[in-house]
Amino acid sequence: MSAHIDGSGERRPAAGILALSLPYQVVAAVALAALAVLACLHLAMVFLHVAPSNTITKQHGQAVDDWIYPEFEQNWKLFAPNPLQQNVAVEVRAEVADASGTRRTTGWIDLTAQDVEDVRGSVFPSHTQQNQLRRAIDWYGNAHDDEGRPKGVRGRLSEQYMRRIVLPRIEGPEARADVGGTVQRVQIRRVVRPVQAPHWSTEKRSTTPSISTMPWWDITDADRSRTETSR
């Protein structure tokens, strides 16, 4: 074991990395250096993502987007002058098959309401519970055209991402609602409910919800295996 002599002249055991043998010191130093490089790279990617268009983003914008989306996207809609004025809910229903093979369709399950219930009253709410569904549905919308067609690879990836998020919430040990069978297909919809104007405001705002419904998606063994791997 390594040791050093302190100011009083006494020999004391070394602490931290110095307490390791030389080979382990090298491994620890390399690991710390790699983490430092990764942290710097991540900060640089986030900066380029939120910065105004520049030479680097024009030449390497796709690389920046591939790093940021969907987990690290920055969203500034909380702040003035245009804060969000609507509540967005993600709901799902499923076509399930029971033990006899009979298929039926469940009612709509409000996944956003489940997340809200989980974080209500929590001192340290989960970032995933607060933002995963909302960011996923935003990504899906941005990656599809007005007719609901996927815009290339990103559109198809957003569909896979939605299925991977939704499936464990309605099937398996983490499911919050018993759908009574094996999920064969799922359908997701986005329900936007405008927030009513405050009583002191003269603004007239409709509170009628708008609903965007996605097509039915078949659940495959690949979807289930990806879901199991991500746990």
Name the amino acid, one letter, at 201.
S
Report d(CA 28, CA 215) in Å as an integer. 50
With a cut of 50, which residues of the chain have pLDDT below it? 1
End-to-end CA, the chain: 40
* Structure confidence at residue 215 (pLDDT): 92
d(CA 20, CA 22): 6
pLDDT at 34: 94
Cα(200)–Cα(203) distance, integer angstroms: 9
Residues 6+ apart with CB under 8 A from 121: none
The span from the CA of 229 to the CA of 231, in Å, is 6
Cα-flanking dihedrals φ and ψ of residue 101, to 5°?
95, -5
Per the DSSP assignment, residues forming a β-bridge with 185 are: 95, 218
8: helix, strand or coil: coil
In this prediction, residue 148 carries a pLDDT of 84
In this structure, the strands spanning 210-213 and 11-13 are unpaired
Task: Identify the pLDDT of residue 101.
Answer: 84
Give residue 191's Cα distance to chain centre. Answer: 19
Report the SS3 class of residue 152: helix
pTM for the whole structure: 0.62
Q: Which residue is associated with the tokens 């290339």?
A: 152
DSSP assignment string, 84-148: --EEEEEEEEEEEE-TT--EEE---EEHHHHHHHHHTT-SS--HHHHHHHHHHHHHHHHTB-TTS
The rounded distance, in Å, linking the Cα atoms of 45 and 61 is 10
Contact 75, 89 (CB under 8 A): no
